[in-house]
Amino acid sequence: MSDKLKIKLSIADRVYPLTIDPAQEEGLRKAAKNIEQLAKKFEQNYAVRDKQDVLAMCALQFASKIEQNGIEQTEGTKEAEERLKALEELVSSKLAMK
């Protein structure tokens, strides 16, 4: 049985107690730190006082990064597939010559 770890994360002036697998701790702490940094940036740059608005802006920022990475990865995959197909055709044509 794996041991669970109890941690507390502070996000937007609230403390969230969590029971997690030890392997998740680093990722969760980094995520909480990133949220805090981005929230402070939004509060300073946009004079937003409502924490809900700040957190919604953070959620949109992180979600859009994930979506954009997915789009870029799909485009990169398509390009790689096209190159592989062209390479396969080149190899096939050279082998057919022999």
Predicted confidence (pLDDT) per residue in 15-71, tens digit = 999 999 999 999 999 999 999 999 999 998 988 878 999 999 999 999 999 999 988
Q: Are 20 and 4 in contact (CB under 8 A)?
A: yes
Assigned token pair, 48: 């937003």
Q: Give the residue with greater pLDDT, 89 vs 11.
A: 11
Cα maximum dimension of the chain? 74
Q: How many CB atoms lie within 10 A of CB 76?
A: 10
Both tokens of 49, joined, read: 């006082």
Query: How many residues in total does the chain contain?
Result: 98
pLDDT of res. 30: 96
pLDDT at 16: 96
Q: How far apart are CA 36 and CA 78, in angstroms?
A: 36
